[in-house]
Amino acid sequence: MNKRDTFRNILRYLKPHAALLAVSVLCALVTVAAQLAVPFLVGQAIDLIVGAGNVDFPAIFRIFIVIGVCIAAAFAAQYAMSLINNRVVYHLLSDVRTDTFGKLQRLPLKYLDSHAYGEVSGTLLTDAEQFADGLLLGFTQLFTGVVTILGVLVILFVLRWEVALVVVLVTPLSLFAARFISSHTYRTFRQQAQVRAEQTAFIDEAIGNLKVVKAYTHEDENAQFFAQQNEEYRKCSLRALFYSSMPNPVTRFVNSLVYAGVALTGALLVIATAGTALPFTVGALTTCLSYCNQYTKPFNEITEVLAEFQNALACAGRIFALQGEEEQPSDAGKQELGRAKGEVALEDVSFSYRPEQPLIEHFSVRVGAGRRVAIVGPTGCGKTTVINLLMRFYDVNGGSISVDGVDVRDMTRASLRRNYGMVLQETWLKRATVRENLCMGRSDCTQEEMIAAAKAVHAHGFIRRLPKGYDTVIGGEGALSEGQKQLLCVARVMICRPPMLILDEATSNIDTRTERLVQDAFARLMEGRTCFIVAHRLSTIQNADLILVMRDGHIVEQGTHEQLLQKNGFYAELYHAQF
């Protein structure tokens, strides 16, 4: 995303806060006006000190009172401006994060499958935070700095155009330096943000899979890879730091030239105009030198702010790029699927995650309501992909999938998924109580229904042994074994009692004795329901009404367990290999 698009998006988020920003601008103008009045008043006070015994103390005292009022007004306006800017920026940060997280919910699964989780979370958290910090700095210092510069130039031209001309002639050096530095700073900070996101993704992956790393003694390789990433991040950071550190010394050098030029020109004017009708007084020279400092100081601040602002723009660009990703197609206008009968048909289905790598081709099968269909085959043959297509996590590239005679692409995803119960090999429980996890799919679930489901899958016993029973908070490491987690996932589906079930290696983490008990529970659960069962252990699917044997994305055999064994084909090979 280029700078123009990034700015356009920032303005879109600032639009709701236009009234507060207007008040902030007014406070900034009051602050600058009060600060600019002080040097002029000090110059007047100096001119009232003519010599020994010739000092107008009452007038000086009145000037000091006005100076005090100006300082108080500047303090109050600046304090109010800071409060307003903080409010605007952190409301904007909240809006950006809320919209970005909402966008993640609407993105298709293929986006998350193709991006590291750490990179996505880094964009949502770290990049958003740095964007807000840079924006706050810009609001607080950038506008007041620009107004101060313009105000000083106007006052200098009014006081003495020769002095103002010296300032104007030297100013382009600061502008050129600021432009050169800011352009390089943006590129280096953008590269730094990208490398940081990659490093965050790797750290997230390494920590999340630390057991696997240790099991395969991969610590040295991980440390070496991290060292390479860290070195790349070091180089990017040093380049970014170099350019972001340049503004201060460069602008200080230019500002010293401005101050010296004003001092020399002003001193010559004081000598040249002495005794004339419009003398350039020492007080006026002091005022000009004070304004010179006020003029050059914002250049230091602005160039420093620009470096931070470039970093903020780079981070904002990554956020808005994520927000600009193509969303999952809307379900607007699609029909709602009520409680399905469970008749499922896959007609000439073709699908691949990547166009150059075909996976499922010309896949056709009809499943009657209440039938149990098992899908078996070697790893990578497309079993889980079929499940993804049934649930519409992905849409088919060719052919169609229908439920009760209606193409799933013509119905809302939510209504389709409400008709499926799903138990996967990978368990997922949120950090909440056992009760909240079990009743996730049915908020109106009663205590009796919840306990009955837990007993059916033989989970009631270990739940009662937890510190607070069904009110125990789970979801952290070590709280439950993988088998216990899977039993809770099975119970969660039993509570929902959907008309169709998908069981993808649903008993893979359960011991053999418990598996037999759970199979009995499944048998009761599956009565009258359409079931799709993915299994590697062929002993668990012998009672299926239909077994689909897949190989390289095609159905190579289908039939009952006994029919397939009699064929003595690929299924028989798989079966005899296990027994």
CA 452/CA 460 separation, integer angstroms: 8
55 in helix, strand or coil?
A: strand
Q: Residue 387: is its pLDDT beyond 70? A: yes
Q: Tens digit of pLDDT for each residue in 160-192?
A: 888 888 888 877 776 677 667 766 777 787 788
Both tokens of 291, joined, read 């304004």
Mean pLDDT of the chain: 84
What is the DSSP annotation of 389-454? HHTTSS--SEEEEEETTEEGGGB-HHHHHHTEEEE-SS----SEEHHHHHTTT-TT--HHHHHHHH
List all residues 6 or more positions away from 544 whose beta carbon is below 8 Å from its beta carbon: 372, 373, 374, 533, 560, 561
CA 167/CA 164 separation, integer angstroms: 5
Q: Residue 30: is its pLDDT beyond 70? A: yes
Look-up of token digits 């806060």: 17
Lowest mean pLDDT among 267-281, 312-326, 350-364: 267-281
**Cβ atoms 43, 117 nearer than 8 A:** no
Counting residues of the chain whose pLDDT is more than 90, the rounded percentage is 14
Q: Tens digit of pLDDT for each residue in 400-436?
A: 999 999 999 999 998 998 899 888 877 788 888 999 9
pLDDT band with cut points at 50, 70 and 90 for residue 271: confident
Which pTM was predicted? 0.68
Buried b (16+ CB within 10 A) or exposed e, 290-303: bbbebbbbbbbbbb
